[in-house]
A and B are shown apart, each in its own frame.
Chain A
Amino acid sequence: MSESPEADVVIVGAGVNGALIAKQLTSAGLRVLLLEAGPDTAYAYDGYSEHLDRFWRAASKSVESPWPAAVGAPQPDTADVRNGDGYFVQNGPDRYGSSYSRTLGGSTLHWLGVCLRMLPEDFELRSRYGVGRDWPLGYAELEPFYRQAEREIGVSADVVDQAHLGIEFAAGYDYPMRALPPSYSDQMLAAAVDGMPVSLGSQQFALKVRSYPAGRNSIPRPGYRPVGAVDERGEGMTLDRGLGQRCEGNTSCTPICPVQAKYNAQKSLAQADSTRLRVVAQAVASKVLIDPVNGAVSGVEYQRYSDPNSARHTVHTATARYYVLAAHAVENAKLLLASGLGGGSSLIGKGLMDHPALYAWGLAAKPIGAFRGPLSTAGIDDLRGGTFRSQHAAFRFDIGNDGWRAPTGAPDSSVAAAVNGNSQNRQNGQGLYGSRLRAHLQHTLPRQLRFSIAVEQLPDAGNAVSIDPRHLDPLGNPRPVISYRIDDYTMAGMAAATGVYRQMFARAGIEDHTHDGDETWFPSVNHGDQVFHYHGMGHFAGTHVMGERPENSVVDRDQRCWEHPNLYVVGSGSFPTMGTSNPTLTMAALALRTANQLIHELAADRRPLTAR
């Protein structure tokens, strides 16, 4: 350890975890050096606007379209998943379908914003259902941090909608902002399917369309002020003109919220005590340095580049008393492996999960107002928990508000199909034009409905991120090598989910068009005689699992690395299992808990750093 470390804590990664921890630590009087591999071009509002313009001009409006990668900090891209190349080296047998962004703010710049808590039973899968593994801490222990995370992110929801499936809230608590109004489409669907009976295993369920908790600004409850657009520049100039303090219905949460009404990690960073925070962007952590005598981390080596279009860089070392890796489930594992760390349990990188998801889409009998509002304002999540989980995966249905955009590229693809004669409606055997084209689109586009069905995946040691010296990026850092397989437990869940969506479509009079078009680019898995086309949800998890003992985990319940007492490794990589909730809220709660731990430890504990 350096004689005079430049900070109390070095944090690697300025996504939601790094930003929340930086905010908490600096507010407690600690000095933080934050290293971000990607650029910080969206931190000033003018720069953010350029990203928005880039999205408007992009021929393909993919998740990554507003957020290009720097040469020095490459990232996976949806097109790579489709083509099977790019940043990830995919070893199969199945294709890992998700991507993430390396930039200040991380993937929260293009997340959807759904903030479901995990269910109490999600933390005890092994004890309750004999599958997966238990967490070293439970829902009750995390509950206060869920509340704190909901405030930090700014979540809009009503407790009355969310208190089910065993989820309990502290007495008197409600979310910082009221639930967003459900879309017209949500209302129509609820009128048709609420109360619909479903049997899974020996259990009966009655479905209900519920508003989704969202990290998206709505009408605040007393005592809370919504946080709008960020405009951080040099010279202490900041923007405060109310922009983004309410969702405006841009129908573009993913890939970019034009007004930043949706939470992104830059908001937390902007709330940190800037006198104690130093952010260095375009600084790629390349190695964690260890003191061979006591096992403590003595520094983080990083590569700085000034030109995002070039691999030219200089090498530096950051030193501090404590270190936090908050670089993403994949990047954390990659960095630990590249540094030769955590060899004891050999678990680093293993147990990689996602929510392999299915799309289902169809045409409602009447206009439901597609292509309006936040991309999803409600879902059907009654099948997230139950005794059937001893047999197959749990799942939930997101109800989309953006027509068939996600699965087919509508409305553009719908226009092209109609004009080129690929749709059922034809004029003289050719495509449509003129008033018939317009009438056809007016008749069909507003009726497009889409579900995303997120299916649970259990940890499997064969599903892993590893590194291989043959596969390096332009800075000489390893590219993630991914082995991935979707097992029977998940596929049986996909089968059950398919049955339920078809039942809902039939009941609601929705004409099923799922995968009825041309060949799809989505990867497929076979389950008996069924074929499932799946995609990733961006929910990477499980690569530095937390546990009760060093033998079966990489980090402890505080996300501290067992082998290196001044090293914390945080994020969804710590999740032993992930249930069916979007991971961001839960990782934010864990990060806030870790920040508490760090604050206490740095304030009180000056013992020499030795391995436990």
Chain B
Amino acid sequence: VNAEAVNAHGDQHDSSLPLPLPLPLAQPLPQPRPAVGPGQPDDRLERFLDLSVALTGFERFSLLGTGLSASYLHELEAIVPAGVVDDLLRATTQQPEGRDLETQLEEVIFADPRLGPVARNLIIMWYCGGWTPMPDDWRAVYGASPLDTRHMVSADAYRAGLQWVAAGAHAAGANQQGYGAWALPPDDVTSGTLASLLAPSMESSPA
């Protein structure tokens, strides 16, 4: 059957849908960031990783393992106004004394009509490897970039989507698990790969 997956996701099929132009161009084309000197940590990328850990629930190790941190930061900077990215990155680093991270994220990011939708898009980018257009009302207020279209960041990004890890699976059409692997009980994704290797959980055994 071929059209068993006459799938057609419930969303836009075409990434080249007309944009609601004319709208102010949010920013000039992205400037290349100055190279980081030897031995100097790229502070901005570090702060982006801190933010991403808080937003995705994945450890730094997993995020770095995708090889896509810099691409995602670049993507974000190319699409949304620079000030927005700066303020997002500030949220996790300029945390007031005594306030927990969750409260900080809720109040500074998710309760903010300017930052909240961008953070949600960033989460989706990490999980799915692609960009989703900003909501129309956000674009109307904060500007629309011509790059704000539905698109995958890259083939690598598709394959490295965190959603596949969360599912205990692999990207469809890549990173195959081998003949017959599908017949085995799924990994217990709630306990982490290493833990399940060391002590196979009974959670996922047949009822």
Contact = CB atoms under 8 A, between A and B. Distances in A.
B35 interface: no
A258 B176 contact: yes
A78 B6 contact: yes
A86 B165 CA distance: 37
Interface residues of A, number: 104
Assign chain B's interface to a size class.
35 or more
Contact of A538 (B1, B15, B132): B1
A183 interface: yes
B40 interface: no
A420 B135 CA distance: 11
Nearest to B127: A415
A437 B180 contact: no
A60 B58 contact: no
A411 to B, nearest CB: 4
B25 interface: no
A382 interface: no
Interface in A380-424: 398, 401-403, 405-409, 411-416, 419-420
B124 interface: yes
Interface in B140-156: 150-152, 154-155
A375 interface: yes
A408 B56 CA distance: 22
A79 B186 CA distance: 34
Nearest to B132: A416
Q: Is the interface of B mostly helix, strand, loop or mixed?
A: loop
A161 interface: no
A63 B123 contact: no
Contacts of B168: 367, 369, 371-372, 442, 445-446
B120 A420 contact: yes
A481 to B, nearest CB: 20
A26 interface: no
Contacts of B194: none
Nearest to B162: A438
Contact of A184 (B174, B179, B185, B189): B185
A430 to B, nearest CB: 6
Interface in B1-49: 1-15
A33 interface: no
A57 B6 contact: no
B182 A434 contact: no
Interface stretch (A34-42, A241-249, A283-291, A313-321): A241-249
A416 B184 CA distance: 29
A78 to B, nearest CB: 4
Interface string B185-200: 1101110000000000
Interface stretch (A104-112, A163-171, A296-304): A104-112
Contacts of B3: 63, 78, 97-99, 254, 535-539
Given A366-B204, A415-B124, A441-B167, A58 B172 contact: no
A537 B6 contact: yes
B72 interface: no
Contact of B12 (A60, A255, A369, A411): A60
A480 interface: no
Interface in B88-136: 102, 105-106, 110, 116, 119-120, 123-124, 127-128, 130, 132
Contacts of A535: 3, 6
B166 A251 contact: no
Nearest to A182: B183
B174 A258 contact: yes
Interface stretch (A48-56, A146-154, A271-279, A545-553): A48-56
A267 B113 CA distance: 55
A438 B4 contact: no
B8 A82 contact: yes
Contacts of A402: 172
Contacts of B127: 415, 419, 441
Given A433-B110, A446-B168, A405 B5 contact: yes
B65 interface: no
A63 B150 contact: no
A443 interface: yes
Contact of B6 (A97, A181, A437, A582): A97
A369 B173 contact: no
Contacts of B183: 181-184, 187, 373
A182 B207 CA distance: 17
Given A63-B7, A254-B2, A539-B1, A248 B178 contact: yes
A371 B6 contact: no
Contacts of A108: 2
A442 B1 contact: no
A109 B136 CA distance: 38
A435 B4 contact: no
A59 interface: yes
9 A-B pairs closest in CB distance: A373-B182, A409-B9, A538-B3, A438-B57, A252-B173, A371-B169, A111-B2, A369-B186, A79-B13
29 contacts: A57-B152, A61-B172, A62-B5, A62-B7, A79-B8, A98-B3, A183-B183, A249-B178, A249-B181, A250-B172, A250-B173, A252-B173, A254-B7, A357-B4, A367-B186, A369-B204, A370-B167, A372-B177, A372-B182, A377-B182, A413-B11, A416-B128, A419-B123, A420-B120, A437-B56, A439-B57, A445-B166, A517-B10, A537-B6
